[in-house]
Amino acid sequence: MKPLLIGELAEDQPSFEPSKNKRLVEDFRQLRATVEKMGLLNPNRLFFFLYLIHILLLDVAAWLNLWYFGPSLLPFLVSGLLLGTVQAQAGWLQHDLGHLSVFGKSKWNHWVHKFVIGHLKGAPASWWNHWHFQHHAKPNCFRKDPDLNMHPMLFALGKKLSVELGVKKKKFMPYNHQHKYFFILGPPALVPFYLQWYIFYFVVQRKQWVDLAWMVTFYIRFFLTYSFLLELKSLLALFFMLRFIESHWFVWVTQMNHIPMNIDYDKNVEWFSTQLQATCNVHQSFFNDWFSGHLNFQIEHHLFPTMPRHNFWKVTPLVKSMCAKYGIEYQSKPLLTAFADIV
């Protein structure tokens, strides 16, 4: 940190930022210490092992389905759905690994992360970490959270930023129709028409050759194994279909916790408030947990980013108690309501 050091404060100078609540900061530090003592940051490796196995079984089932039933329409659609599910679920597992929450040692998380995101999904770990860590540091803070980069070129996000556009009379899209064209530019397009190609530009520009090698193994495996079952047109259609399903799954789940919440410039408030005003939860159920990769516990995940997801529910009562103490709203809603709130 030496390059960032400006100097030391004199003893009579305040060492706490006035924009932050000192008691809340101290209470959250105590909560963090309690979480560590309870062992809630310790991963259950069997949970993640079984989770990986279920992904691999779905992947194999997709191929066996086409091999046994042939490439007619119904088996083709079933395999596409299975492969889309594999991509979504592998996405949640790589997210766990990127947060260093699967293994006790960082290097094991990094190594397996490259396998899951690179070989099972065809994407680079370096790109995900570069993008996602910024999001966690300043969620819903414009110009700091890359998840908001679609404002204002594609969408007008948040009440405050939208009003700012109106005052400046800036308009890049017909924003009064954005709840309609979201269904074209959002879920269907993000992965197949943007991220699918941008990630290759990212790794080449930054010379991330190891990540590129892992990505190539995904494409070799996919096109080799399915070339025995499908002709080229059908093979490309299957690939587009799995990316199309993955894109819808990814966009709806990742946006339901943030887009309806407060979006503004960074106000430099304490960590607890920063995360709570930018995140909301979706009610717990077995399906919601599986479907969202436990990102229905987005509040707990943002407060404790390295916590293994199977422990989120255990810390929820402590988080709610702190919210009640400081008058901070803890939002949780049904899944379909969360989807509707995006629109």
**Residue-wise pLDDT tens digits, 152-182:** 999 999 999 999 999 999 899 999 999 999 9
Q: Are 227 and 137 in contact (CB under 8 A)?
A: no
Contact 279, 258 (CB under 8 A): yes
Helix (H, G, I), strand (E, B) or coil at 245: helix
Residue 249 has a pLDDT of 97
Helices (H), 228-310: 232-255, 271-278, 286-292, 298-303
Query: Hey, what are 63's tokens?
Result: 């191929």
In DSSP notation, 215-237 reads HHHHHHHHHHHHHTTS-HHHHHH
| Beta pairing partners, 294 | none
pLDDT tens, residue order, the chain (343 aa): 899 999 888 888 887 888 999 999 999 999 999 999 999 999 999 999 999 999 999 999 999 999 999 999 999 999 999 999 999 999 999 999 999 999 999 999 999 999 999 999 999 999 999 999 999 999 999 999 999 999 999 999 999 999 999 999 989 999 999 999 999 999 999 999 999 999 999 999 999 999 999 999 999 999 999 999 999 999 999 999 999 999 999 999 999 999 999 999 999 999 999 999 999 999 999 999 999 999 999 999 999 999 999 999 999 999 999 999 999 999 999 999 999 999 9
Report how far residue 200's alpha carbon sits from residue 151's, in angstroms, rounded to the nearest whole number: 23
Q: Contact at 8 Å (CB) between 82 and 65?
A: yes
Q: Note whether 101 and 91 are within 8 A (CB).
A: no
Q: Yes or no: say if 197 and 187 are a contact pair by the CB < 8 Å rule.
A: no
Q: Which residues, listed in sequence order, are joined to residue 332 by a DSSP beta bridge?
A: 281
With 0-12 / 13-18 / 19 or more C-beta atoms within 10 angstroms meaning exposed / middle / buried, residue 120 is buried
pLDDT attached to residue 16: 82
First to last CA, the chain: 43
Tracing tokens 């159920």 back to the chain, one arrives at 285
C-alpha 62/C-alpha 230 separation (Å) is 13
**Cα distance between residue 161 and residue 164, in whole Å:** 5
pLDDT on residue 15? 78
Q: What pLDDT sits at residue 276?
A: 97
pTM: 0.93
How many whole angstroms separate alpha carbon 188 and alpha carbon 179?
14
* Residue pair 165/178 in contact by the 8 Å Cβ criterion: no
Q: Residue 98: what residue type? A: G
Tell me, what's the pLDDT at 254? Answer: 95
